[in-house]
Amino acid sequence: MTEDLSRMETRLQAVFQPIRPSSGFVKTVKKHLDAAPQHFQVEKPPQTKRMLLVFGGVLSFSLFLLTVARAIFYFLHRARQA
């Protein structure tokens, strides 16, 4: 196994010889990298937070009502059987 890897590495080194890029290419790449736009994080508008709070409140209230209704039906059904 290591012999195969060693032969493959030798063959790849022979095929892929390192090259030195031209100075013009390097300057162009540097110029493009320096001119790249700066990225910044955009804050979410406050409406999004408000909508999430409203949605969470409505969902919580509906779950609360469902729980209370189930408890009432449970106790009423239990009272009938007793």
State the pLDDT confidence band at 82, using cuts at 50, 70 and 90: low
Residue 80 in domain = yes
Residue 60 in domain = yes
Give the Cα separation of 5 and 9 in Å (integer): 6
**At residue 25, does pLDDT exceed 90?**
yes
**Total number of domains constituting the chain:** 1
- What is the domain extent for residue 69? 56-82
Residue 79 in domain = yes
Residue 31 in domain = no
Give the Cα separation of 42 and 55 in Å (integer): 23
Residue 77 in domain = yes
- The model's pTM is 0.41
Residue 8 in domain = no
Q: What is the chain's mean pLDDT, rounded?
A: 88
**At residue 2, does pLDDT exceed 90?**
no
Which is more confident, 46 or 82?
46
Residue 21 in domain = no
Give the Cα separation of 66 and 17 in Å (integer): 72
Residue 74 in domain = yes
